[in-house]
């Protein structure tokens, strides 16, 4: 029984639809896609036909413009079946939302209808060899020419970079962080697949090399200098929200697989589900799924209400959901014993995918430091200890007196 609170009838119906799509069209193939390190083109056509790729595109441009909870549920059900497909929704949504929010009318008209139907796939290209968590360390440069810009630099670990038609890419223009829309096929853009990645193996990662890469003047997205603080920040917020919900699905998948296996497998004359130490793992997964889902719902409600606290709520949700997903996946492998290490069961994939969730859209450590710092906001500083002696210098011995 998955605990859910306060879904409207429409949201509940949408969740059922996403669940059924994921069960029929994603879950049966997820292990094979993981092994082949790619999501096939036929599947992109299939998911495009559902309209799910238009989740972050306004209706005026042909998108489905899902509300925050609706988008979360789509990510949960997709993430329950396959984290690589969920990551497609994440980066495609980040690019779509950025163009919708920061693009000119011409950029929106040019890209959003294609992103809504899946005729174009978007990706997010921020990370560089020397700039990971510290995104301000980016060194890719953009220089103005008569009719546009020339970009030079490198981007690493770009999800669906092998497949994308448009990259939301960040570079320094006159030293200031700036966002650009770089099309696949731009002269001087070289795309190399990343092989042998630990998890989300089917997410078609690529490295991008920009050597004298020429883009037109219309490639500039938003104002120069707004690249990180506005464009990337809002895109990463959406990405974090999407990953958090995807992790809820991943925890649920770990629980589903473990419940089934523990029900069937017998050791010492009884089913695994009746061994108390196995029950501990099942209980932690069930509690983790429910708690992560509630944190995601809270972030979603605040996001939908346009409440600034949604940023902090999303950090909490992503931190809790991703760390719980990894613990749940490790426990799911444990429940399956040696079978958990083989290809017969998906739990080894869940564990590899869950580790990635602790790195992307802000590593666990970056979330810990951010959340800890925010916890001090509104926290009353501890009052200095006051003793009768401390309040009166006269009462102190000479060497104890407080002096300026």
Instruction: Using the minimum distance from each CB to ligand FAD, give the nearer residue, 73 or 158.
Output: 158
User: Helix/strand/coil (H, E, C) string of 150-219?
Assistant: EEEEEEEEECCCCCCCEEEEEEEECCEEEEEEEECCCCCEEEEECCCCCCCCCCCCEEEEEEEEEEEHHH
Nearer to ligand FAD, 244 or 278 (CB): 244
Nearest to 77 by CA among 25, 151, 8: 25
Choice between 89 and 360, CB closer to ligand FAD: 360
- Judged by phi (left if over 0) then psi (alpha if -120 to 50, else beta), residue 30 lies in alpha
Tokens 């605040």: give the residue: 302
Query: Considering the complex, what minimum distance in angstroms separates the CB of residue 38 from ligand FAD?
Result: 14
> Min. distance of Cβ 132 from ligand FAD in angstroms?
2
Using only C-alpha atoms, the chain has a radius of gyration, in whole angstroms, of 24
CB nearer to ligand FAD: pick between 155 and 336? 155
Residue 77 a catalytic site member: no
Instruction: For ligand FAD, give the closer residue by CB, 111 or 124.
Output: 124
CB of 118 to ligand FAD, least distance (A): 18
Enumerate the H helices of 66-121 as residue ranges. 68-81, 83-102, 105-117
> In whole angstroms, how close is the CB of 122 to ligand FAD at the nearest point?
10
Tell me the closest approach of the beta carbon of residue 360 to ligand FAD, in angstroms. 5
Query: To the nearest whole angstrom, how small is the minimum distance from the Cβ of residue 140 to ligand FAD?
Result: 11
Distance CA 344, CA 347 (A): 9
**Whole-angstrom distance, CA of residue 213 vs CA of residue 221:** 16
Q: Which of 146, 358, 361, 365 is catalytic?
A: 361
Q: Do 77 and 249 form a contact (C-beta atoms < 8 A)? A: yes
Q: Which residues bind ligand FAD (CB under 6 A)?
A: 91, 124-127, 132-133, 157-159, 197, 200, 205, 356, 359-360, 363, 365-366, 369
- Looking only at Cα atoms, what is the longest distance across the chain? 85
Tell me the β-bridge partners of 221.
179
Helix (H, G, I), strand (E, B) or coil at 384: coil
Q: Which is nearer to ligand FAD, 197 or 294 (CB)?
A: 197
Closest CA to 125 of 92, 159, 152: 159
Cα–Cα distance for residue pair 160/168, rounded to 1 Å: 12
- Residues noted as catalytic: 361
């Amino acid at each position: 029984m998955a605990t859910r609170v306060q879904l409207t009838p429409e949201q509940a119906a949408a969740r059922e639809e996403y669940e059924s799509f994921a069960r029929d069209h994603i879950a049966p193939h997820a292990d094979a896609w993981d092994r082949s390190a790619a999501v096939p083109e036929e599947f992109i056509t299939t998911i495009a036909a559902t309209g799910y790729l238009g989740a972050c595109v306004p209706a005026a441009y042909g998108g489905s413009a899902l509300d925050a909870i609706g988008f979360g549920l789509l990510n949960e059900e997709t993430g329950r079946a396959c984290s690589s497909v969920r990551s497609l929704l994440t980066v495609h949504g980040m690019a779509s939302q950025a163009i919708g929010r920061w693009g000119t009318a011409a950029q929106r008209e040019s890209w959003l209808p294609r992103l809504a139907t899946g005729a174009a796939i978007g990706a997010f290209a921020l990370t560089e060899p020397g700039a990971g968590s510290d995104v301000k360390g980016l060194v890719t440069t953009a220089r103005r020419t008569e009719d546009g810009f020339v970009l030079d630099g490198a981007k690493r670990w770009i999800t669906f970079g092998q497949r994308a038609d448009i990259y939301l890419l960040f570079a320094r223009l006159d030293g200031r962080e700036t966002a650009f829309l770089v099309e696949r096929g731009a002269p001087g853009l070289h795309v190399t697949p990343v092989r042998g990645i630990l998890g989300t193996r089917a997410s078609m990662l690529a490295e991008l090399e920009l050597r004298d890469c020429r883009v037109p003047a219309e490639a500039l997205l938003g104002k120069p200098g707004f690249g990180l603080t506005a464009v990337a920040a809002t895109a990463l917020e959406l990405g974090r929200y999407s990953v958090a919900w995807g992790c809820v699905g991943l925890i649920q998948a770990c629980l589903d697989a473990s419940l089934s296996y523990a029900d069937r497998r017998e050791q010492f004359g009884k089913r695994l589900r009746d061994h108390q130490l196995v029950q501990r793992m099942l209980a932690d997964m069930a509690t983790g799924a429910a708690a992560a889902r509630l944190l995601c719902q809270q972030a979603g409600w605040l996001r939908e209400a346009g409440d600034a606290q949604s940023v902090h709520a999303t950090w909490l949700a992503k931190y809790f959901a991703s760390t719980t997903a990894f613990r749940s996946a490790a426990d799911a492998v444990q429940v399956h014993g040696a079978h958990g290490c083989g290809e017969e069961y998906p739990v080894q994939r869940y564990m590899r995918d869950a580790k990635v969730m602790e790195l992307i859209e802000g590593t666990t450590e970056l979330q810990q430091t951010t959340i800890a710092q925010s916890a001090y906001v509104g926290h009353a500083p501890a009052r200095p200890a006051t003793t009768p002696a401390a309040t009166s210098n006269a009462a102190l011995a000479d060497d104890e007196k407080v002096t300026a």
